[in-house]
Structure 1
Amino acid sequence: MYKNTSFGPTKTYKKQLENGIVHFGNQQTLADFPIKITDKLLQWAEIKPNHTFIGRRDPLTRDWVNLSYHETLEKVKNIAQYLLNLEFSPDETVVILSENSLEHALLVLASVHIGITYTPISPPYSLVSDDFGKLKHCLELMTPKVIFAQSGKVYHKAIELSKSLFPDAVIITADGIIGTHFEEMLQVKATADVEEAASKVNADTIAKVLFTSGSTGLPKGVMNHQGMWCANLQQITQVLPFMQEQPPIFIDWLPWNHTFGSNHNFGLALYNGGTILIDDGKPTPKGIEETVQNLREISPTAYFNVPKGFEMLIPYLENEPTLRENFFRNLNILFYAGASLAQPVWNRLEELALETIGVKIPIITGLGCTESGPSAMFANWGGAFSGLLGVPVAGMDVKLVPDGDKVEARYRASNVTKGYWRNPEATAAAFDEDGYYKTGDAVKFLDENNPDKGLVFDGRIAEDFKLSTGTWVNVGVLKAKVISTGSPIIQDVVLAGLDKEYIGAILFLNADACRKLANLESEISNKEAFQHDSVKAFINNWLEEFNKTSTGSSTAIRKYVIAFDPPSIDLGEITDKGSLNQRAVLKHRADLVNEMY
């Protein structure tokens, strides 16, 4: 029924302690891994120099511009020499403000190769924010010597802020409109100094800092050491050995300021001698067209996306047989992360694969976070379901700690961060007395008597709340059910009800889906679409059906309100990953909460 994809073993161990704590892990041993990711660049440049490593469409000609492993290495060495000539102090870093690009990739690899810490700052902090508060915070924390932006025109406001904070920083742009032209770095010829600097890099050298929004406050910079990144890539490769058996081909849009796109997807392509092609599309009404055009040409061996991306792709796969055949032809897995995949979307993807190539493609996910680089566990088998997290990766010890009526997952392994950049207080608070990272994720065994079946997601401990009756509400599980059953009209939800008699829901709707349901023109405003009688009828019918399956006050939603304004990045209502911040929404939309009670 499922494609015969090569997966790693899932035999586990489970050790129960007298205090109720459980240690859960994979019996497979973690194999050796390189000190730094660019060791793999050196390896592939020697073994298969002409194999395409990375590519992106030229914005003007629309032709693919590809770089082989050999070409990439030569450019990386030259950029590394340029950086060495600037004589970085130990406190100075490289800051990248831009989206994914060839220049972005080359600067990353050059910095990592010679041990200069870099950070990619979320583009919305520069382009969407009104007050640049998060951008300013990140810049001040990183003390950059080099600041790169893909376009001086697009990022001119962010660059001006950067220059005001760090007037001596070297500004580099790919178009040369502001500061130094990126091409100038490529003209510098590498010397023996590059090799000498690279030889001094070790597993504890900080490769990058990835900012994570967290649940409250300003972004925290997660330190990603060289060994941490490589350890996780080896762990993932052992989970997905088909990556080694056939050089992977990825077409991917996921942003490199996030661990999913950067550590996971970009890293896996390089680690296994594959090809990563940059998709300038994204899961938006306009961006999905770019993604689909790329998928008409490229047949990926694995495809990564967020649930919204898969949902938006389905109509195209349904309506274009040629696209469908090209998409499924070489696929070994479909992989989602960032949120729960609605079961109807999951089912339809399997049906389309079965109709097209005669077998289902395994749809897999797992559990992880920026602090675990990102992957801690996987459900790497066909026949999984939304919410199944699977079993730990090799070398990962998951400590399951009781917390009230829930169990928190904590991690200790070589792929776990050593802490937060220049934030000792947050670092100390993030680990327990035994050195395990406290994730805040609640989990439980699918089958207590058979741990090999893995763990399932049981919400976020900090998000759960009690009703006035003392009944606990499992926010994560209930939220996933709302989105799954309310798709495609209900895009996201924030649940309220702390110390109240019943649960209320702030609904964030999909404007395009609402217009389609109501048969409205695209020019119609979101608010008008949200208030259309057909949309209201859909939601009311949905709520009635939803509550028929509830088991009591903790799983029933009594009232709802529709959020007309989109979540604000400046107020922290939405993270740079696109997920809603429950606490921030409830805080800043207290009027909506009051309306329900």
Structure 2
Amino acid sequence: MPPTTPENFRERAEWAASRTLTRYLPHKVEREDRADGTILLRSGYGLPEYVRCTGDWLHRWADEAPYRLAVAERDGPGWRNVTYADLLRFVRRTASALLARGMGADDCIVIMSGNGVDHLILSLAAQYVGVPVVPLAEQYSLIPEAHARLTYVLDKVRPRMAFVDDAARYAKALVLPELQGVEMVAGRVAKVGRDLTPMADFLSHDLHPGLEAAHAAVGPDTLAKIMFTSGSSSDPKGVLTTHRMLCVNQAQMSAVMPYLSDAPPRITDWLPWNHVFGGSHNVNMMLAHGGTLHVDSGKPTGRGFAETLANRDAYPGTLAFNVPVGYAMIADRLQQDRALRHRLLKDLDLIFYAGASLPQDVWDRIERAMIEVRGGLPMMASSWGLTETAPACVMVYEPIGRSGVIGVPLPGVELKLIPDDDMRCEIRVRGPNVMPGYYQDPERTAKAFDEEGFFITGDAVRFVDPLDMNRGLIFDGRVSEDFKLETGTWVQAGNLRMNVLKSLAGLVQDVVICGHDRGEVGLFVFPPPGTATEDNTTRGAVTDDGLKARIEERLRQLNAGVTGSAKRITRAIILAEPPSVEGHEITDKGSLNINKILTRRADLLERLYDNEDPALIRV
């Protein structure tokens, strides 16, 4: 088994490299140091050619592998299967229906429901003839309290068309005033108080005489999507996503991940398509390499995990994508079920996580299971990027043997690192996968780029080894989430949060670092589901003495190894209410909306700094 100390990077990396079964390239980084201390990093590998538009992928695989399964979804007791030949045929007929309505680059289609075959066909059809799509989080339409987000986007983009997979399920949203006069397309129609166009009409539409010319006019600069950010600190911003961004990003990853081209990848995935990780990174990885995508209708939640596990068990795949909580749930099941271990792991070339750092103990458990099943490891990797970067900019593509590393720049990407006194670096990025700007928002667009054209991400990183760039970078939180105590001392909230989560593993679901303009750093604690009960909850806080004592003990152990007020947690309070989707306390990416939590729970923030409050944990 690997060296037991995760921080012993070289030993763990060498151990992993000796056991990795997946074909890989070594990290290769070029560094430039400027007189002002700024560091520029570039890939040592060149950027390969990339296709003109997403439609080129469809034509290639419909020609080379017409009967290969492209995409599938659950359909009653079985699956609805679409081959590459079928996919191209459906896309061209649906694109013809759009042209018959006179739609073009000045129009857009809002997609209000989640992942599905019809969703994919309509998106690719719109891109095929240069009509941008706007994929939205399905909770905007399903949860009445979240309709404000939906109406904000509808008012912003003024769509010609909207789509849902099931009219009955989305009935309340379909009659919103903002959708009057908008053609509503539905995969399954129902009586909902307005006219609907069946998606089946699009799939059987006659080919339009202008189809070939419309497709030929689509190029790298054509707008493919408007992807709205989660709006964690302000109103959602519409990211202009071009065909170049989507196509070049797949070429960048193909250049350093040779196994993607060794055999068609197979993916079973739940990650939402309104988010860039699921909708651009994963879906396009399948399309670019002629792979197969099984749409997973489950999620790594209490209700959805059984479904996602059943789907992955039926179609394990060669590439696995998930968020850390999803891998933690899978690791638990792998530990319990030897047969399941073999079915899920036997063909994996890649285990990829994003969204947050994967706990090292989960990483280690998956490694042990892989060694048992295959006698070796797949590539175990992570990446970093944003909606504005299509998304991948930095990626792990060699064995590293530990969690928490986001990797090195991809070919064609240039990083600007601006160090502070603690050798933490603000990271900015420039490259062909970076957006041209925000939709109808010139002021925000201008503020998003520095004088050299680097996108200002607001994120921070550190070097794994400042003397060896090939060891990669570690994500170190959001610069915008940092704050000052009343003494003027800066608190690096993102880094501190990761340390706290590691210390409180098993006792908490998540935490929020508090203390802006206060004298001490405090903690909002979200406990595991089911912790808060009527008997142990008072005015929105959990008063369980046993849990409070365990958290206090762990925090004291954490504090024992640090100096300085910016790294010491002196108080905490356990919140009874979990993060609220309706209250916008969770972003579309599934991360916590820190500003909204602190604002919405201002009374609890005051109680956190009230030394007489009975719910307070004083450390």
TM-score when normalising by structure 1: 0.94
Whole-Å Cα distance in 2 between the matches of residues 589 and 493 of structure 1? 14
What are the superposed Cα offsets for residues 171-197 of structure 1, whole Å, 9 maximum, x if unpaired? 111111151111111121213422111
Whole-Å Cα distance in 2 between the matches of residues 499 and 165 of structure 1? 42
1:272 paired to 2:289: yes
Spell out the pairing of 1:223-262 with structure 2 (5 A cutoff): 223-262=240-279
Deviation at 1:37, TM superposition (A): 1.2
Deviation at 1:73, TM superposition (A): 0.6
1:172 paired to 2:189: no
Of 540-549 and 348-357, more deviation after overlay is shown by 540-549
Q: 2:480 aligns with which of 462, 469, 479?
A: 462
Whole-Å Cα distance in 2 between the matches of residues 344 and 131 of structure 1? 36
> Would you say the 8 A contact 2:383–2:392 is kept in 1?
yes
What are the superposed Cα offsets for residues 388-441 of structure 1, whole Å, 9 maximum, x if unpaired? 121100000111124565421111100000111111111111001111100011
1:140 paired to 2:155: yes
Of 547-556 and 386-395, more deviation after overlay is shown by 547-556
Whole-Å Cα distance in 2 between the matches of residues 530 and 380 of structure 1? 43
1:394 paired to 2:394: no
> Would you say the 8 A contact 1:129–1:569 is kept in 2?
no
Q: 1:413 aligns with which of 431, 439, 444?
A: 431
**Structure 2 counterpart of 1:583, one-letter code:** N
Whole-Å Cα distance in 1 between the matches of residues 231 and 403 of structure 2? 23
- Matched with 2:592 is 580
1:563 paired to 2:565: no
- Matched with 1:551 is 563
Spell out the pairing of 1:105-124 with structure 2 (5 A cutoff): 105-124=120-139
Deviation at 1:456, TM superposition (A): 1.6
> Would you say the 8 A contact 1:91–1:143 is kept in 2?
no
Deviation at 1:570, TM superposition (A): 4.7
Deviation at 1:78, TM superposition (A): 0.7
- Matched with 2:169 is 154
Whole-Å Cα distance in 2 between the matches of residues 146 and 524 of structure 1? 50
Spell out the pairing of 1:299-318 with structure 2 (5 A cutoff): 299-318=316-335
Deviation at 1:225, TM superposition (A): 0.2
* SS class of match (1:547): helix
* SS class of match (1:174): strand
Q: Which runs of 5+ in 1 are unaligned?
A: none
| Structure 1 residues 171 and 526: alpha-carbon distance in aligned structure 2, compared to 1, 3 A threshold | farther
Deviation at 1:90, TM superposition (A): 4.1
- Matched with 2:460 is 442
Whole-Å Cα distance in 1 between the matches of residues 501 and 255 of structure 2? 33
> Would you say the 8 A contact 1:254–1:261 is kept in 2?
yes
What are the superposed Cα offsets for residues 192-218 of structure 1, whole Å, 9 maximum, x if unpaired? 422111000010000001111243121
What are the superposed Cα offsets for residues 476-505 of structure 1, whole Å, 9 maximum, x if unpaired? 111112223323331111111122222100
Of 440-449 and 277-286, more deviation after overlay is shown by 440-449
- Matched with 2:398 is 381
What are the superposed Cα offsets for residues 64-117 of structure 1, whole Å, 9 maximum, x if unpaired? 221100011111111001111111254321110001011101001100111100
Deviation at 1:269, TM superposition (A): 0.4
> Would you say the 8 A contact 1:95–1:119 is kept in 2?
yes
Whole-Å Cα distance in 2 between the matches of residues 388 and 274 of structure 1? 27
| Structure 1 residues 488 and 83: alpha-carbon distance in aligned structure 2, compared to 1, 3 A threshold | farther
Spell out the pairing of 1:37-48 with structure 2 (5 A cutoff): 37-48=54-65
TM-score when normalising by structure 2: 0.91
| Structure 1 residues 253 and 570: alpha-carbon distance in aligned structure 2, compared to 1, 3 A threshold | same
| Structure 1 residues 294 and 345: alpha-carbon distance in aligned structure 2, compared to 1, 3 A threshold | same
Q: Which runs of 5+ in 2 are unaligned?
A: 1-15, 610-619
Whole-Å Cα distance in 2 between the matches of residues 362 and 552 of structure 1? 39
**Structure 2 counterpart of 1:546, one-letter code:** L
* SS class of match (2:27): coil
| Structure 1 residues 529 and 426: alpha-carbon distance in aligned structure 2, compared to 1, 3 A threshold | closer
- Matched with 2:510 is 492
1:506 paired to 2:506: no
* SS class of match (1:119): strand
- Matched with 2:616 is none
**Structure 2 counterpart of 1:310, one-letter code:** Y
> Would you say the 8 A contact 1:511–1:529 is kept in 2?
no
CA RMSD of aligned residues (A): 2.1
* SS class of match (2:268): strand
Whole-Å Cα distance in 1 between the matches of residues 451 and 208 of structure 2? 47
> Would you say the 8 A contact 2:22–2:377 is kept in 1?
no
**Structure 1 counterpart of 2:588, one-letter code:** D
> Would you say the 8 A contact 1:8–1:241 is kept in 2?
yes
Q: 2:143 aligns with which of 102, 125, 128?
A: 128
> Would you say the 8 A contact 2:161–2:185 is kept in 1?
yes
Q: 1:475 aligns with which of 465, 470, 493?
A: 493
* SS class of match (1:270): helix
* SS class of match (2:496): helix
Deviation at 1:45, TM superposition (A): 0.2
**Structure 1 counterpart of 2:247, one-letter code:** C
What are the superposed Cα offsets for residues 353-388 of structure 1, whole Å, 9 maximum, x if unpaired? 223222233321121111111000112222343331
| Structure 1 residues 292 and 89: alpha-carbon distance in aligned structure 2, compared to 1, 3 A threshold | closer
**Structure 1 counterpart of 2:443, one-letter code:** E
> Would you say the 8 A contact 1:467–1:498 is kept in 2?
yes
Q: 2:85 aligns with which of 65, 70, 73?
A: 70
**Structure 2 counterpart of 1:300, one-letter code:** G
1:80 paired to 2:95: yes
* SS class of match (2:49): coil
What are the superposed Cα offsets for residues 531-588 of structure 1, whole Å, 9 maximum, x if unpaired? 5454334323322332233333222211111121222345432211111122221222
* SS class of match (1:510): coil
Whole-Å Cα distance in 1 between the matches of residues 487 and 178 of structure 2? 52
Q: 2:72 aligns with which of 52, 55, 74?
A: 55
Give the aligned length. Answer: 586
- Matched with 1:372 is 389
| Structure 1 residues 532 and 238: alpha-carbon distance in aligned structure 2, compared to 1, 3 A threshold | same
What are the superposed Cα offsets for residues 246-280 of structure 1, whole Å, 9 maximum, x if unpaired? 11000000000000001100010000000010011
Q: 1:338 aligns with which of 355, 375, 378?
A: 355
- Matched with 1:28 is 45
* SS class of match (1:184): helix
